[in-house]
Amino acid sequence: MKRPFKTRVRTLKIDGIDVGAREDETILELAQENGIFIPTLCHLEGVHDIGACRLCLVEIKGTSKLLPACMTYAEEGMEVITDSERLTAYRRQVLDLLFSERNHVCAVCVSNGHCELQWLAEKLGISHVGVPYLYPQLPVDASHSFYTLDHNRCVLCARCVRVCDEIEGAHTWDVTGRGVECRVISDLNQPWGTADSCTRCGKCVQVCPTGALFSKGKAVAEMTKRREFLPYLQQMREGRR
């Protein structure tokens, strides 16, 4: 919208519907604009997409690969399918693996009833987890004076990392390790409370989709997140450029 006179338009099909897109628009943005639901978890309006969670995978005619809608730009003549048995199976599998990889005990979680992972499980019809749970031994970092990080509930969406870096400009959070060893860390892999770069703004807590980051003093189901501020902050910044 910044430079409308230079924007080029692409025409393509999503689920058989003809749609027009700006050339800098992703399939996900385009689908949302047209009221087509694609499940997402790591996507967060206001920060860059990274295609980490793989829930927004879509089928595109002409390629056998499934592509993440948040990282795929609209192209002329594309034919996108956002919902199929194959996609549903993969999306459920992603959620199964997320549930089994950490200790998500919804019943006693601060975010019970306000959790995006829990909501997605219901939305995608997960009645049970088909793979064995790993029950990893994971720490809870309560060293910060305002907030707590519970690795048991983390889905590694890296929203905290991105909001801290791109919006707050502190880059307190980062990610260490690979695969099942992957963890969110603060500063030089030290307790959050000792991380000097943290400004205590709490943006990471508000954007966290699960109960991995929460305000101290919240009991079961009490942690609600407020993330309306993000697109607003981003708009303000873009307006100033």
Partner 1 sequence: MNGKLKLATVWLDGCSGCHMSFLDIDERLLDVAALADLVYSPLVDAKEFPEMVDIALIEGAVSSEDDYHKIRHVRAHTRILVSLGDCAVTANVPAMRNRFKVEEVLDRAYFENATLNQQIPVEVIPPLRKQSIPVHQVVAVDVFVPGCPPSADIIFYAVTELLAGRTPDLRTRTHFGA
Structure tokens at 87: 């996609």
Please choose, out of 28-36, 81-89, 119-127, 183-191, the segment that lies near partner 1 by the rule CB under 8 A: 119-127
Sign of the Cα pseudo-torsion (225, 82, 68, 79, in order) = negative
At 45, the amino acid letter reads E
Please state the closest distance from residue 180 (CB atom) to partner 1, in A: 14
Please state the closest distance from residue 108 (CB atom) to partner 1, in A: 6
Please choose, out of 96-104, 153-161, 171-179, 184-192, the segment that lies near partner 1 by the rule CB under 8 A: 96-104
Nearer to partner 1 among residue 128 and residue 241 (C-beta): 128
Question: 89, 105, 140, 182: which one contacts partner 1 (CB under 8 A)?
Answer: 105
Question: 136, 139, 217, 231: which one contacts partner 1 (CB under 8 A)?
Answer: 136
Please state the closest distance from residue 97 (CB atom) to partner 1, in A: 14
Cα distance between residue 85 and residue 79, in whole Å: 17
Please state the closest distance from residue 106 (CB atom) to partner 1, in A: 3
Please state the closest distance from residue 113 (CB atom) to partner 1, in A: 7
Nearer to partner 1 among residue 124 and residue 201 (C-beta): 124
Closest by Cα among 150, 40, 51, 177 to 95:
40
Question: 89, 108, 140, 182: which one contacts partner 1 (CB under 8 A)?
Answer: 108
Binding of partner 1 by 225 (CB under 8 A): no
Binding of partner 1 by 122 (CB under 8 A): yes
Buried b (16+ CB within 10 A) or exposed e, 124-155: eebeebeeeeeeeeeeebeebeebbbbbbbbb
Cα distance between residue 215 and residue 205, in whole Å: 7
Binding of partner 1 by 112 (CB under 8 A): yes
Question: 62, 137, 178, 239: which one contacts partner 1 (CB under 8 A)?
Answer: 137
Longest CA span, the chain: 55
- Residue 158 has a CB neighbour count (10 Å cut-off) of 22
Residue corresponding to tokens 């993000």:
230
Please state the closest distance from residue 212 (CB atom) to partner 1, in A: 15
Binding of partner 1 by 219 (CB under 8 A): no
- Residue 114 has a CB neighbour count (10 Å cut-off) of 17
Structure tokens at 17: 């519907």
Cα distance between residue 228 and residue 173, in whole Å: 21
- Residue 63 has a CB neighbour count (10 Å cut-off) of 8
- Residues contributing to the site for partner 1 (CB under 8 A): 99, 103-109, 112-113, 115, 118-119, 121-123, 125-129, 132-133, 135-137
